[in-house]
Structure 1
Amino acid sequence: MISAAGLTAGLAGCGGRQATQNGTPTDHNSVDDSAPTVELDDETLALMQELAYVTNQALPVLPLQEKLAQSFQTTDDWSVPSKDNSKMQTYWPTDWLPREGEWTASGDVERLTLAQWAVPSDSQYNPWNTKNFAEPRRTLFDRFMKYNLDSQEYTGYLISDWALDGQTFTLTVREGQTWHDGSPATATDVANQIKLDIYNGGNLGEFVAPEDKGTVADRVTASDERTVELSLAGPVNEDILLAYLQPKYLAAHEGTYGEFVTRLDEAGSDEERSAVIGELASKTVSDPVGCGPFAFENADSQRTLVSKFEDHPDAGNINFPEIEYLYKPSNQSRWNGLINNETDGSATLFMPRNKLNQLPDSVQTTLIPRHWGLGLLFNHEREPVNDVRVRKAIAHVINRESVAKNSGAGTRSKIAVTYPSGLTSEFSNQVEGTWLKGVTDKFETYGRAESQTEKAAALLEDAGYEKQNGTWKKDGEPLHIPIKGPSGFSDWVAGAQTAVSQLKDFGIKAESVMKDSSTYWGKDYSNGDFVVGLQGWASYNQSYPYFHYKFLYDSHSAKNYWNSPSEFESPVLHDDLRDGETVAPADLVAQLSTGDN
């Protein structure tokens, strides 16, 4: 799930087309033979399709487009894989390519220059304090595993191997892992990382240590120097466990966080545990002890400097001694950094066509699937969008092809969502070819390619509205749809403006209300102060549908920010899964979390 803090730190086409894993456009209706193959049993597939159908019919959010992220690498003084190389699809290139010896200095340069969002001297490295969690964490700490966003495959790294045997999930720690203070990084450190994440509300906790299944200390243990065992509370899909483990960085250095683990393990009450968690969440770490291939040196108002750690297992793959992260707090400053040869690359960044045309020939642009995109989020406690008929009318009016084209700004990094259903992998044809195979004719496309104004008008009339002098009104008041969003997300702003224009042309009093990014995420969004808000409509970087429906129906954001109801009314797709049209989607999500697929 994306937190508000994560979104503000993670800023970042054409409709009717799709792109393969190397970014080459193909006809949207063609099947991409290189798309990942997913094997699903009938029960699992039916659950996914039922959740997709509820989403399509109830529209808790309106997915507009799915995106490919643009990743940049300079090639004048650096040797990097070509943009169509599968190694460019690993989450993220700036994390992995230097470690693998695939991003190396080919000239006389001795420093790789990247960018960071927050002021370097104000940044900190405690992952449980989300304020200004610094981007240099990517090279200071090692991730548990690698994940290829295109093939959707996991491979080992700090966790070199794993095995699920019944209700025991065993993790093996890579040999040679060392903290920057010289102490070995062991299974105890990995167990502590997982414990602290669970104590802080991490989703892994519901599978490992729900309240009625024993304590975290009992269920997350290090059996020897390299082996961690997770005792699961019940059967769990292995892909779900891997997806929750893979993104973790090992940051739980004993000297920094050991006391918190001990106090949480020994806490005798919820109040005592909450107090410790509060202390941990407020702890600022400005001089971190990491375990990655680079160690922290210093930071000032404009840059952070890290130097190669020679005792890291992959140090021999790296032929440059330093990385610096320059303070670049906006898309525009990052564009200029690449255009002016000030930075050597960017993990992910949206750059419109007019800026791409200004890049030097030495800058390579790679497209990476993200399995999410721009959506219109409805606050279910605010009129008029608490009425599903209004939500559906909006969906019929908005031409998602135009939204994708305009938010892509001349690039091929956005594609219109065909079936608003919470399913991703539009680029690789998995929506029709896998997730909805055999049932696509049951799903509503709404206004994907052109506005369906007659259907929209019928819905609004049924909801009590009538069109007077070109404006839809109810009880004399215009139908008003303000759309709030973060002004710093330039592609989202363009998409929202397109949607607003289409709604206004139809006679709805729509407006775009863009706020400073920190104000939007930290105040408007987190306080539910919106009628319609801009938000990613799927679970960031995951393709497996469980994560998207967990985000839409059973996340903190859904319950507290969007005021999403626990039950919806929706027609039934698979009669054997539901008795009636009233459905609690979170119950179906829970069923989807178990099984072998």
Structure 2
Amino acid sequence: MPENADQPNAPALSRRHMLIVGTTGLATGLAGCGGQEATDDSGSTGDGNGGGNGNGNGNGNDTEAGNDTAGNDSDGGNETNPDQFESTSLAMTQELAYVTNQTLPVLPVMEKLAQSFQATDDWNVPPADDERMQVYWPTSWLPRTGDWTLKEDAEDDRLTLSQWAVPADSQYNPWNGTNDGEARRTLFDRFMRYNVSTREYHPYLISDWTMDGTTVTLQVREGQTWHNGDPVTGTDVANQLKLDLYNSGGAGGIGPYVLPDGDLNAVPDRVQGADETTAEITLDREINEDILLSLLAPTQLRAYDGTYGEFVQALDDAESEDERSTALGELTDFTDPEPVGNGPFQWEDADSQRTLVTKYEDHPDAGNINFPEVEYLYKPENSGRWNSLKNGETDGSATLFMPQNQTSQLPDHMQTALVSRHWGMGIVFNHDQEPVDDVRVRKAIAHVINRDDAAKNSGAGTGSKVAVTYPSGLTGEFDDQIEGHWLEGVVDQFETYGRAEQQTDRAAELLQEAGYERQDGTWQMDGEPLELPIKGPAGFSDWVSGVETIVSQLQEFGIESEPVMQDSATYWGGDYSEGNFKLALQGWASYDHTHPYFHFDWIFQSGDATDSWNVPSEFEAPVLHDDLRDSETIAPGDYISELATPEE
């Protein structure tokens, strides 16, 4: 049965909105992890939830989890401008955002801004508030574009950074999943670059791309070579995509759009090196180009045919599940400690304390780089990284959570930039549990919580958390992408709930409508107090601070609540994954992307949503766009699928 929405209490609609005639920019980028003060980071790029499901990152460090972005154009090639898209996808985005806002399947609380550090004594770098800093990560992209350069009077011409894994134990086979070395950021190139501010894709290792129906063609950048001098080929690009498909069982990345019914036997025919400089993908169905690009752009080319070709061949030739399993096991067991890369720096050596990479003069961007080496020092704990930034041992950090009592000790020449993660802490509800199966109770909770205070306390004085203005499933608080783009023309129809101040009168009305009454300062029903404990991972220090603020607000209002913080294994692998909670903490957006399609898919259709949160498949929600929806009963999944479909 559809879940009842609190329709009488929705914002008054003076008129029903028609489909807006306009354009929509479809944006994608990276979001990240929980900000826990942890001591290890393998650098893996998966969910990283410490044994649980979904977006929670169990190691809690700001790891590289997906798209790199760049704020600079490159010459030639293909560019995707957001203004090419028609109005229907924007209207669908707004409709799904409205359903989310009116029914609160989850309660988005804050967006995360990662701290990134750059030394300015020996280095020329953009100012902290420059849009060029909105890249994943500054240490990866700015040297490539000539925006992180050595000053003429610098005392040391080596860029020194840090890494989590023991350098001598690091290896660079991403399908192995262990000890992926931090030097990967400079050793390998990504397929494309993405400008967060303009929402445009720019060529990089892939210099040109075309989509013709279900055929996608990817062209390798001219002059792109491996560090042994071999040219980067279409076969190498195809190898990368094939191994990603095989390793994920076809379930991740482009898999659902390429493989009919997840059939891995189709991989050799669906992904091929068409010629020396071109790879070709055959899709199972036509999809929105921006959705596909958001999946392809972050791909980091590792699959040099001379190293990985034999693994690809074995998987392509497998004639049974057992043969494929054996071949995949050989791939995931393989370690690659001295990789053949294709980025602007090449592997030199590693010992117990540091990894050294040296400039590769034949890289297309070598002319932008005026320093010869990058060194990654072994710093397995946040405290060690803080001290290295404070005493000048390192020249910066891609991203690192550093509380105010530490940033206040940084030297004047160390600047801190805040990089958007398009992700953040939210409260998820178990829709099979009373009383949060009642939308009026969920809305009352939202009205009580002051998200500004929760974000401020979670950020520990760093300004790295931004309160969500409109709980809608949309990200982009940091640069007005929500009001100024996604909700343009309809923002006045969206409820803010208790963002900046508690709206306790409205919360009280909702609880009374749901059958509760306040006695002796406590909300009760049939003599039983309203109890709403909030479970979460104890290691996520910023989340702990945020939830403590929220619990205090609920208690003050008369709801019995407490934070129930558990170790990562118990939480992610136990209570969270098993749905043993009423309220729990989790990332409310898909941290691999900024495009709303992925966020709505996460909220309504992910395994977490269906298996842990028990989100219903249908909701009752007021209509925003008459031309798009003529019933207040809505199955969000139908609209999410349409959002991934090309405009007619």
Give the TM-score normalised by structure 2.
Answer: 0.81
Structure 2 counterpart of 1:193: 240
Residue 489 to residue 337, structure 1, CA distance change in 2 (3 Å): farther
Cα deviation, residue 465, structure 1: 3.8
Three-state SS of the structure 2 residue aligned to 1:142 is coil
Deviation digits for residues 370-420 of structure 1 (CA, Å, limit 9, x no counterpart): 323221222334454344333222111101121222223334443321210
Structure 2 counterpart of 1:373: 424
Structure 2 counterpart of 1:206: 256
Where do 1:352-501 residues align within 5 Å? 352-474=403-525, 476-501=527-552
Residue 568 to residue 575, structure 1, CA distance change in 2 (3 Å): same
Paired residues of 2:89 and 2:647 also in contact (CA < 8 A): no
Paired residues of 1:51 and 1:588 also in contact (CA < 8 A): yes
Paired residues of 1:68 and 1:368 also in contact (CA < 8 A): yes
Q: Which amino acid aligns with 2:174?
A: P
Paired residues of 1:66 and 1:426 also in contact (CA < 8 A): yes
Cα deviation, residue 475, structure 1: 5.4
Paired residues of 2:134 and 2:419 also in contact (CA < 8 A): yes
CA–CA separation in structure 2 for the residues paired with 1:439 and 1:81: 36
Residue 56 to residue 483, structure 1, CA distance change in 2 (3 Å): same
Deviation digits for residues 288-343 of structure 1 (CA, Å, limit 9, x no counterpart): 33222233344455443333334433334333333232343444443332122222
Cα deviation, residue 576, structure 1: 4.1
CA–CA separation in structure 1 for the residues paired with 2:433 and 2:167: 40
Deviation digits for residues 466-509 of structure 1 (CA, Å, limit 9, x no counterpart): 43432334455443333333444443332222111111111222
Q: Which amino acid aligns with 2:196?
A: L
Where do 1:191-590 residues align within 5 Å? 191-199=238-246, 200=248, 201-211=251-261, 215-270=266-321, 272-274=323-325, 276-474=327-525, 476-516=527-567, 520-521=571-572, 525-526=576-577, 528=579, 530-540=581-591, 542-578=593-629, 580-590=631-641
Structure 1 counterpart of 2:35: none
CA–CA separation in structure 2 for the residues paired with 1:228 and 1:445: 47
Deviation digits for residues 402-452 of structure 1 (CA, Å, limit 9, x no counterpart): 122222333444332121000122233232232222323332221112212
Residue 129 to residue 477, structure 1, CA distance change in 2 (3 Å): farther
Where do 1:40-189 residues align within 5 Å? 40-106=85-151, 107-189=154-236
Three-state SS of the structure 2 residue aligned to 1:179 is coil
CA–CA separation in structure 2 for the residues paired with 1:164 and 1:194: 17
Paired residues of 1:121 and 1:299 also in contact (CA < 8 A): yes
Three-state SS of the structure 2 residue aligned to 1:67 is strand
Q: Which amino acid aligns with 2:255?
A: G
CA–CA separation in structure 2 for the residues paired with 1:302 and 1:517: 28
CA–CA separation in structure 2 for the residues paired with 1:193 and 1:554: 28
Q: Which amino acid aligns with 2:47?
A: A
Paired residues of 2:232 and 2:277 also in contact (CA < 8 A): no
Structure 1 counterpart of 2:25: none
Cα deviation, residue 114, structure 1: 1.6
Cα deviation, residue 65, structure 1: 1.8
Paired residues of 1:150 and 1:369 also in contact (CA < 8 A): no
List gaps (5 residues or longer) in structure 1. 13-20, 23-35
Paired residues of 2:441 and 2:511 also in contact (CA < 8 A): yes
Paired residues of 1:149 and 1:368 also in contact (CA < 8 A): no
CA–CA separation in structure 2 for the residues paired with 1:69 and 1:492: 14
Query: Matched residue pairs, number?
Result: 576
CA–CA separation in structure 1 for the residues paired with 2:316 and 2:418: 44
Structure 1 counterpart of 2:47: 4
Three-state SS of the structure 2 residue aligned to 1:334 is helix
Q: Which amino acid aligns with 1:194?
A: L
Three-state SS of the structure 1 residue aligned to 2:118 is strand
List gaps (5 residues or longer) in structure 2. 1-30, 33-45, 50-56, 63-69, 72-80
CA–CA separation in structure 1 for the residues paired with 2:407 and 2:460: 10
CA–CA separation in structure 1 for the residues paired with 2:584 and 2:202: 36
Paired residues of 1:91 and 1:148 also in contact (CA < 8 A): no
Give the TM-score normalised by structure 1.
Answer: 0.87
Q: Which amino acid aligns with 1:144?
A: F
CA–CA separation in structure 1 for the residues paired with 2:532 and 2:405: 31
Q: Which amino acid aligns with 1:545?
A: P
CA–CA separation in structure 2 for the residues paired with 1:304 and 1:481: 49
CA–CA separation in structure 2 for the residues paired with 1:219 and 1:225: 17
Q: Which amino acid aligns with 1:4?
A: D
Structure 1 counterpart of 2:39: none
CA–CA separation in structure 1 for the residues paired with 2:176 and 2:575: 21
CA RMSD of aligned residues (A): 3.1
Residue 286 to residue 555, structure 1, CA distance change in 2 (3 Å): farther
Cα deviation, residue 221, structure 1: 1.6
Paired residues of 2:183 and 2:376 also in contact (CA < 8 A): yes
Residue 511 to residue 228, structure 1, CA distance change in 2 (3 Å): same
CA–CA separation in structure 2 for the residues paired with 1:526 and 1:294: 41
Paired residues of 2:451 and 2:467 also in contact (CA < 8 A): yes
CA–CA separation in structure 1 for the residues paired with 2:104 and 2:352: 45
Cα deviation, residue 345, structure 1: 0.8
CA–CA separation in structure 1 for the residues paired with 2:448 and 2:519: 18
CA–CA separation in structure 1 for the residues paired with 2:574 and 2:160: 33
Paired residues of 1:4 and 1:521 also in contact (CA < 8 A): no
Structure 1 residue runs of 4 or more that deviate by more than 6 Å after TM superposition: none
Three-state SS of the structure 2 residue aligned to 1:215 is helix
Three-state SS of the structure 2 residue aligned to 1:198 is helix
Residue 315 to residue 484, structure 1, CA distance change in 2 (3 Å): farther
CA–CA separation in structure 1 for the residues paired with 2:141 and 2:459: 27
CA–CA separation in structure 2 for the residues paired with 1:245 and 1:563: 31
Cα deviation, residue 63, structure 1: 0.9
